[in-house]
Amino acid sequence: MRHARPVLPCYIPFVLSATNDTRVGSRTQPHFLGAKVTLEQEIEEIRAAIKAGRFANEAAVSQGIVLRLLNALGWPAYDTQTVSPQYALEGRRVDYALCHPQNRPIAFVEVKNLGQTDGAERQLFEYAFHKGVQLAILTDGQEWNLFLPGEQGDYGERRVYKLDIVERDLNECVQRLNRYLKYDAILSGAAIEAAREDYRNVSRERQMQATLPQAWAQLIDDEDELLLELLADRVESLCGYKPDPDSVAAFLKRNLIRPTQIQTPSAMTSRPRVPGPVPTIHSKTDKSHGTVGFTLKGRWYPARNACEVLLNVFEVLAKQDNSFPERFASLPRHGRTRRYLSRNADDLYPGRPDLVRDHSKRLSSGWWISTNHSRATIGRIIETACEVAHLQYGTELIADLGD
């Protein structure tokens, strides 16, 4: 026995870790014999040790990284009733149970050898479910995975954060470890609440990312006017010629890469969008004068193109009921940002005098109507006009907009 060494029961394990092979950096004295070491300093020295390959097994990771960081985060790392090693769970053991009050776990830490965390989530989650622990940490010393086992989703979806203390910025490492694992924050509940807030943010981001392909496909299927116009304007700026909306819509549909399977996150509660009726409805009546036009109560009105069908429908409905234009224009919403019918042509394309000049027509009633639409949009406008005129679209009024 070395009688010259002072007896310090609380720090004996730390003295051993500071003097055995897991010592890192240039510091040769145990922490408690010198100035207080900050979390930043601990992380920097651990980084150097990981790069030097000084942690050969789980025991080295546990003693040289995990306990060291917990100590820097304010945990009484060698109070085994607070940081309980090899916590027993019906014949199984979790590496560390972080307890408050003493011997009552509020977080579990499972330690693996460097690079060996894959597939260990299930074991950790079983531990957490068994004791109702809200926070679970899986680490190999370098990579720290923080989970909320009680939330929804698979293992990956219940991971709040994944921190690589070697690759990530030092300030981020300090901020994240303090946010989720600082002793005072765990005891006050602030750490758990912060983890839940971050989980909700991650979940929202995941839902948005999963829904983006669906939203993009719907914009193209619906032949969204602003999207078609944006692409048409860019084509015109590049070559000097502006394609019509139908050409743009056809191009987008030909080049749309649809996801093989669009999965809507289970947390989303919104009802799925129900596609509207097919805008081009072919008449079953005699159309000896042509194949484009519309039938209203058995009478055929021919046209040269879909745009002319739109104009003729509004002319006929306005003649049958002179209040029709006013009632249509008073609808709270036409297009996403534009009006389809207005007394003032400038209201049809706000801020786009070029479109007002080239794609608006004055009806005999004095109202102005927009014409820069694809066939699908024209079909929806005519359907809306039928609703205003109290006509059954597809039976009383049948539109054929061509191919």
Q: What is the mean pLDDT of residues 270-286?
A: 38
Query: What pLDDT sits at residue 72?
Result: 95
Query: Greater confidence, 56 or 258?
Result: 56
Domain coordinates of the chain in residue numbers? 9-201, 293-400
Is the confidence at residue 219, as pLDDT, over 90? no
Query: What pLDDT sits at residue 245?
Result: 87
Query: What pLDDT sits at residue 155?
Result: 64
What is the distance between the alpha carbons of residues 295 and 61, in angstroms, rounded to a whole number? 80
What is the distance between the alpha carbons of residues 165 and 278, in angstroms, rounded to a whole number? 55
Least trusted range by pLDDT, from 81-95, 247-261, 289-303: 247-261
DSSP class per residue in 139-172: E-SSEEEEE-TTSSSSTTTTEEEEEETTTS-HHH
In angstroms, the first-to-last Cα distance of the chain is 97
Query: Greater confidence, 122 or 229?
Result: 229
Q: Name beta bridge partners: 301.
A: 294
Least trusted range by pLDDT, from 12-21, 93-102, 179-188: 12-21
Is the confidence at residue 269, as pLDDT, over 90? no
What is the distance between the alpha carbons of residues 232 and 237, in angstroms, rounded to a whole number? 9
Is the confidence at residue 382, as pLDDT, over 80? yes
Is the confidence at residue 310, as pLDDT, over 80? yes
What is the distance between the alpha carbons of residues 344 and 271, in angstroms, rounded to a whole number? 37
- Residue tagged 């079909």 (tokens): 379
The fold of the 9-201 domain, in CATH, is: tt1808, chain A (3.90.1570)
What's the distance, CA 366 to chain centroid? 48
Q: Which are the contacts of 107, defined by CB distance < 8 A and separation ≥ 6?
A: 97, 98, 133, 134, 135, 136, 137, 181, 186
Q: Calculate the alpha carbon distances from 209 to 2, 156, 214, 364 in Å.
A: 63, 15, 10, 48
| pLDDT confidence tier of residue 290, bands split at 50, 70 and 90 | low
The secondary structure of the chain, three-state, reads CCCCCCCCHHHHHHHHHHHCCCCCCCCCCCHHHCCCCCHHHHHHHHHHHHHCCCCCCHHHHHHHHHHHHHHHCCCCCCCCCCEEEEEEECCEEEEEEEECCCCCEEEEEEECCCCCCCCCHHHHHHHHHHHCCCEEEEECCCEEEEECCCCCCCCCCCEEEEEECCCCCHHHHHHHHHHHHCHHHHHHCHHHHHHHHHHHHHHHHHHHHHHHHHHHHHHHHCCCHHHHHHHHHHHHHHHCCCCCHHHHHHHHHHHCCCCCCCCCCCCCCCCCCCCCCCCCCCCCCCCCCCCCEEEECCEEEECCCHHHHHHHHHHHHHHHCCCHHHHHHCCCCCCCCCCCEECCHHHCCCCCHHHHHHCEEECCCCCEEECCCCHHHHHHHHHHHHHHCCCCECCCEEEECCC
Q: What is the mean pLDDT of residues 296-314?
A: 94
The CATH classification of domain 293-400, taken from the options 1.20.58.110, 1.20.1380.10, 1.10.3450.40, 1.10.150.20: 1.20.1380.10
Tokens matching residue 55? 């942690």
Query: What pLDDT sits at residue 5?
Result: 44
Tokens matching residue 395? 């039976």
Query: What pLDDT sits at residue 9?
Result: 42
Contact 287, 293 (CB under 8 A): yes
Query: What pLDDT sits at residue 130?
Result: 66
